[in-house]
Amino acid sequence: MNHQSPASLAFIGGGNMARSLIGGLVARGADPTTIRVAEPVDALRHAMQQDFGVHTFDHAADAVQGADAWVLAVKPQVMRAVCEALTTQAQATRPLVVSIAAGITAGQLDRWLGGSLAVVRAMPNTPALLGAGVTGLFANAATDNAGRARAAALLGAVGATVWIDDEHLMDAVTAVSGSGPAYVFLLAEAMQQAGEAQGLDPAAARVLAAQTLLGAARMLTEREEPADVLRARVTSPGGTTQAAIETFEAGGFRGLVARAIDAATTRGRELSAAND
Ligand SMILES: NC(=O)C1=CN([C@@H]2O[C@H](COP(=O)(O)OP(=O)(O)OC[C@H]3O[C@@H](n4cnc5c(N)ncnc54)[C@H](OP(=O)(O)O)[C@@H]3O)[C@@H](O)[C@H]2O)C=CC1
Ligand SMILES: O=C(O)[C@@H]1CCC=N1
């Protein structure tokens, strides 16, 4: 009789993004007993266990036991130390390594884990919790088709996936979609506050702003027309929208967005260099 447990997935780090991914996976039918999570913070570990029924551990070395795929979900600043503590197990079991860390390259991860491993860099975002995420994926040369398919299936369970051939562009992916939900939340905050300043009560302003973002996002994703065409349909000549859009343009909105995305992209590259 075969007493081996089924192949399992280990998450190293059980913070915000791991929680979004694990919550999304379990909500979409993944067997939580095949998911093992290392997280040093007691409250986070207990919440992960209670909310999703996954196996939890204090230490990464215990979580990776028997796992044939590892998701590295710790901050870039601690990634080197976390990997170097797992080198012996990585070389013994040769898992598929999936890192979601901003900036940290596949080459760095492979080197810190002892070399010659299949490493996939993934950049998901928190809407994964609702199955509405999007993930950019880059695989190193040691990753075979089965490894690529496993990584794509893992992240594809919680949203769309896009393969990126040039690893350098993963920092731009991070800046656009990894960080992107925060920009939308900032816009929501600003719209809500501006509505309140015009006299709307906070609850009404919140519903109006949030539902507008949802409806607009659905039009962007469920219709063929590009954003500028959809925008034109809202903008009656000489009307209210035109007054607002002209104010945005005069205030340098596009340039500001470009500078923000450039700052995030640059920060990703700094995180790689600073934590090598
Ligand atoms: N948040 C997001 O929207 C996204 C984040 N990412 C990436 O995901 C990674 C995690 O980010 P995020 O979830 O926001 O960060 P969090 O700080 O919320 O989560 C990381 C967790 O890992 C824990 N940890 C630290 N050391 C270890 C260890 N040795 N073993 C196991 N766990 C450990 C941390 O504990 P402690 O706090 O005590 O250090 C923390 O609870 C980052 O690399 C980030 O770039 C990628 C896409 C989107
Ligand atoms: O802010 C960060 O660095 C991480 C990566 C993308 C989203 N959060």
The answer to whether residue 37 scores a pLDDT higher than 80 is yes
CATH class (in words) of the domain with range 8-171: alpha beta
H-helix segments, the chain: 16-27, 42-52, 60-63, 76-84, 87-93, 106-112, 145-156, 170-173, 180-197, 202-222, 227-234, 240-250, 253-274
Q: Which atom of ligand 1 is nearest to the CA of 101?
A: 43
Instruction: Establish whether 12 is an annotated binding residue.
Output: yes
pLDDT tens-place string over residues 133-176: 999 999 999 999 999 999 999 999 999 999 999 999 999 999 99
Measured in angstroms, how far is the CA atom of residue 206 from the centroid of ligand 1? 29
pLDDT (mean) for 27-47: 97
- Please state the length of the chain: 276
Same CATH fold assignment for domains 8-171 and 180-272 = no
Quick one: DSSP state of residue 136?
A: E
| Residue to probe by mutation, ligand 2, list 75, 129, 179, most atoms within 8 Å of CB | 179
Q: What is the structure's pLDDT at 2?
A: 36
**Ligand 2 shell residues, CB under 6 Å:** 102, 174, 178-179
Q: What is the structure's pLDDT at 3?
A: 38
Q: What is the structure's pLDDT at 271?
A: 97
Contact between 69 and 95 under an 8 Å Cβ cutoff? The reply is yes
Domain ranges of the chain: 8-171, 180-272
76 lines ligand 1 (CB under 6 A): yes
Q: Which residues of 15-36 are buried (b: 16+ CB within 10 A; e: fewer)?
A: eebbbbbbbbbbeeebebebbb
Under the phi-then-psi rule, with left for phi > 0, alpha for psi from -120 to 50, and beta for the rest, what region is 144? beta
82 lines ligand 1 (CB under 6 A): yes
Q: What is the ipTM of this complex?
A: 0.99
Q: Is the pTM of this model over 0.90?
A: yes
Q: Which CATH superfamily is domain 180-272 in?
A: ProC C-terminal domain-like (1.10.3730.10)
CA-to-CA dists, residue 6 to 52, 100, 116, 146, 200, angstroms? 18, 24, 25, 17, 55
